[in-house]
Amino acid sequence: MNIIYEDNHLLVVEKPVNVPMQEDSSKDKDLLTMAKEYIKEKYHKPGDVYLGLVHRLDRPVGGVCVFARTSKAASRLSKQVSDHSLKKTYLAVVEDNNLEDSGHFEDYLLKDTKTNTVKVDPKGKLAVLDYEVLKRKDNLALVKVNLKTGRSHQIRVQFSSRNHPLWGDQRYNRNAIKGQQIALHAYMLEFEHPTTKEKMSFVSDIDSYPFNI
């Protein structure tokens, strides 16, 4: 776990791929526990450490994320998430298939909790994103995605439903080869500091294949 920034109110970290955000049925080591252990050890905190989970990344997805170190910070950051002033930018590699240079997607997404899959359905919740193509090669396109809403599996489903599934997406891309890592990365977070009101921006760069197509 790479620490990007920390102060008395925030802990911004780089989530490794294939690590759950919090404890799940797999019982694998999760990011929230790792972050709490880091705070406890560094600052010699007795007892339980408070750390608020503000937003989530899918287990196979790596990149930048923020935790709140106080309940007040958690409340204020959560409000920014709900009113969409906390901005999340992702990098993804998708199957090109004549993808337009930029676009705006709006869909209603419905989650099946039994199978942990999501589909486009008018009974679902509104999902909105904007994207622009940064590079193309061999029927792959590197896109920058500005997420306007934070629905489960949103980027993966909105692109795959338009015949542009993400490279290596084992769940929504029928062409994915078993063992491939999904090409989705939480590239940048922008938000207002919960106490100082300072505009903050944090980036998690990536240059590994297939992001460097």
| Whole-angstrom distance, CA of residue 36 vs CA of residue 49 | 6
Take residue 116 and report the two structure tokens written for it. 């942990």
DSSP β-bridge partners for residue 93: 142
CA–CA separation, 48 and 33 (whole Å): 11
Residue 50's closest CA among 2, 82, 5, 8?
8
Catalytic-residue membership of 130: no
**Cα dist from 53 to 28, 158, 173, 187, whole Å:** 18, 25, 29, 18
Q: How many residues does the chain have?
A: 213
136 alpha carbon, distance to own chain's centre: 23
In DSSP terms, 67 is beta-bridged to 11, 53
Pick the catalytic residue from 48, 58, 83, 205. Answer: 58
Beta bridge partners of 199: 192
Q: Which one, of 97, 199, 183, lies nearest residue 144 by Cα? A: 183
Count the neighbouring beta carbons within 10 Å of the beta carbon of residue 128.
16
Active-site residue list: 58
